[in-house]
Amino acid sequence: ALLCSSAAAVGLLKWLERRQIQQKMEEARRTRDLALERMEKAARWFKQEVVCTQTAHILSLTMVELVEKLKEGSLSPESVLYSYIGKVKALEVTREVNCVIDFIHGCEDQLQKLKKQKEKGLLYGIPISIKDHINCKGHISSGGMVKFLGQVKEEDSVIVQVLKSQGAIPFVKTNIPQTMINYDCSNLIFGQTLNPLNHQKSPGGSSGGEGALIAGGGSILGIGSDVAGSIRLPSSFCGLCGLKPTGSRIRYIPTSVLFLLPPAFVLAVTGMLGPMARDVDSLALCMKALLCQEMFRLDPTVPPLPFDEEVYTSSKPLRIGYYEEDGYFQPSPSMKRAIQQTRKLLEDAGHTLVPFAPPKIDYMVDELFTRGIFSDGAAHLVDCFKGDIVDPNLKSQFNTYRLPTLVKRILAIILKPIVKVSACRSAKNLWDQHGAVAVYRTEFIAKWRKLRLDVMLCPALGPAFNHGYAGKLFAATSYTNLYNVLNFPAGVVPVSTVTRADEEELKRYRGYYRDPWDKRLKEAVEGAVGLPVAVQCVALPWQEELCLRFMKEVETLA
C-alpha cells in the first residue's frame, strides 16, 4: 500500500509538472497570436488611412534599390514597413509556414522617431526580422524552451541597437528549434516551421524562421546566428544568401544563447551573428552598416575595422581552392554537381581553380568540433531540460547526449561522432582541446598559403531535408562546422536546383561508411526536384569583404 501510494504521488507530481509546462506554452502561443493580430490591425489601419498603390512595386525591389528610393524620398518608410507587415499576413506566409513568433510593436514608435531624424543611416527605413534568441527590449528570447518564457528583456542587444542607429526597423522575431542545437526548426511552444518552397521540407536551422520568412517574401533582411551552420544551412535549404562572419567581426552570439552550451565552448568552437537575405549585395550593405562607429563604441571587443568597399568591388581574378567532397559525409548528387558547374563557370570567367583536400576531417568532427561544443559531455544542455519537455525532433539527439559516459565511449568506437560527446575530464584536457584547435587551424592555413589561395569553393549541405531528419543527422554538418572550428568567414549562395537526373542518381547513393547515417541522408534529401542547391564560399579570418566579393562573383555567374 505504501509503495502504491508513493508511486501514485510521484505520478501525480509528474502530471502536475507537465500540465504546468503545457499551460505556459499555451500562454506563450496566445501572446504570439495577439501579436500577430496587432500586426494585422496595423496593416489594415495603414490601408484605410493611406492610399498605397505601390505595395507590389515595393515588394519587388531588391534591398539596395529600396534603400535608394527611401533616401531620395520617392518611397516613405511607412509604405515600406506596412507593405512588409501586410505581406506577412496577405500572402499567408506566417499562417502557411509558421515562421513569426512575435511582432516587435515598438517598430511603429521607431518609425515616427525615424521620420524626425535629419541624418539617414545606411539602412534607413528597411524592415528587418530578428531571430528569437537575439534580445529586443520588451520581448522574450525563449530559445524554444519553457523556462525562459517569462523573462522579458529590458534592453536591445548591441546588434539591434546598431541596426536602429542605421535607420533599420526590426519588426518581427522568428522561430527556432528547441535549444538551437539542431538544424530543423521546431519547438513545442510555437511548433514546426515549414519550408515555403515545399511544405514537406524543413527550412533548416537553427535560423529556420528567418530562412522561411525571407524566402516566403515576408522580410527583405534578417539576422541569424551560426555555431555549426545555423545561418548557412537555412540559406541553403531556402535558396537564400547568408554570411557567417569571423567570430568577433560583428558581434559574438549574445549571452541569451549561451544558457544552452557550457562556457568553455566559446573558445573551442566559434559562434557568431550574421545576415541573411535574397542577394549578396544586401549582405554587403548590412555588413557595411554594422561595421560602424556605433558598433565599435557599444562593444569595444569588436575590432574597429570598417567595411572595405574597395575589396568588395574589386574585379581582380581570384585563385580559388575547391573540393567536391570532404571524405567524411558523401555529398548528395546535386551538392556535387553544383560545385562542378560553379567551378567550370569560374574557370571560364578567368579565375584559377586549384584542387584542395581539407585535412583530417574525421578528426576535426570527432575531436575538435563535437568535443569542443560539448566539452562537458553535454551535461549543461541536458540540465536545461529540467522542467521542460523535449521536442520530438530533438529526441534522437537528446537521448544520445544523456547516455552514460562509458556507453558513449563504446559507441564512439563503432559509430560516427554524434555519440562522441564525452566530457573533457580536467582543466588539462580542456586546455589540450583548445590547443588542438589552434594547431589544426595553423595546419589548415599553412596548406592554404602553400597553394597561394585567395578563397575556397566547397559544398553546402542540401537540398532541403524532409521533416524529422535533421535531429538524426547532426554529423552531416561537417561541411559547415569545419569553418566554425577554423573561425573563417563563410557564406552560402544558391546556384542551381535539383534535377530529375540528380534524383535518379540519388537512388544509387551509398555513402562512405554505408551505415545508418548514410542511409538517413539519402532518405532526408529525397523528393527535392526543383528545390535550390547552393555552394559555400570561404575566405581567411577577417576577410569578410573578400568572401562577399567571391559570393557576388558566383551569384553573377550562376
- Of 186-190, 235-239, 343-347, 415-419, least confident by mean pLDDT is 415-419
Beta-carbon contacts of residue 173 (< 8 Å; ≥ 6 apart) = 100, 101, 102, 104, 129, 130, 131, 132, 134, 136, 139
**Closest to 93 in 3D by CA, of 233, 178, 215, 235:** 215
Are both 8-312 and 314-557 of the same fold?
yes
Share of the chain above pLDDT 90, in %: 72
The residue assigned the cell 534535377 is 499
Cα–Cα dist 292/85, whole Å: 28
336 is catalytic: no
Q: Retrieve residue 415's grid coordinates.
A: 559509430
DSSP 254-323: PGGGGGGS-TTHHHHS--EEEEEESSHHHHHHHHHHHSSHHHHHH-TTS------HHHHT-----EEEE-
pLDDT digits (tens, 9 = 90+) for 391-432: 999 988 888 888 887 777 777 666 654 445 666 767 788 888
pLDDT at residue 265 greater than cutoff 80: no
552 is catalytic: no
**How many other CB atoms sit within 10 Å of the CB of residue 255?**
12
Pick among 3.60.9.10, 3.90.1300.10, 3.40.250.10, 1.10.1840.10: CATH of 8-312: 3.90.1300.10
What value does the mean pLDDT take over residues 362-370? 91
pLDDT at position 401: 83
pLDDT at position 445: 98
pLDDT at position 89: 55
E strand or H helix that includes residue 67: helix 63-72
Residue 141 and residue 148 in contact, taking contact as beta carbons nearer than 8 Å: yes
Residue 276 and residue 223 in contact, taking contact as beta carbons nearer than 8 Å: yes
Looking at 129, 157, 186, 206, which residue is catalytic?
Answer: 206
pTM score, two decimals?
Answer: 0.95
Between 117 and 518, whose confidence is greater?
518
> Is 227 annotated as contributing to ligand binding?
yes
> Is 206 annotated as contributing to ligand binding?
yes
Cα–Cα dist 264/258, whole Å: 10
- Of 66-70, 116-120, 304-308, 406-410, least confident by mean pLDDT is 406-410
**Residues 154, 155, 156: CA angle, nearest 5 degrees:** 145
pLDDT digits (tens, 9 = 90+) for 54-67: 888 999 999 999 99
pLDDT at residue 542 greater than cutoff 60: yes
What average pLDDT does the structure give for the chain?
A: 91
**Residues 27, 28, 29: CA angle, nearest 5 degrees:** 90
What letter does residue 51 receive in the DSSP assignment?
-
The CATH code for residues 314-557 is 3.90.1300.10
What value does the mean pLDDT take over residues 304-322? 98
pLDDT digits (tens, 9 = 90+) for 461-518: 999 999 999 999 988 999 999 999 999 999 999 999 999 999 999 999 999 988 888 9
pLDDT at position 256: 44
Domain residue ranges of the chain, discontinuous segments joined by +: 8-312, 314-557
248 is catalytic: no
Looking at 83, 186, 230, 422, which residue is catalytic?
Answer: 230
What are the strands, taking DSSP E only, across 76-133? 100-103, 127-131
> Is 229 annotated as contributing to ligand binding?
yes
Taken in order 263, 379, 256, 216, is the CA torsion positive or negative? positive
- Of 86-90, 105-109, 152-156, 272-276, least confident by mean pLDDT is 86-90
- How sure is the predictor about 50, in pLDDT bands with cuts at 50, 70 and 90? low
pLDDT at position 255: 42
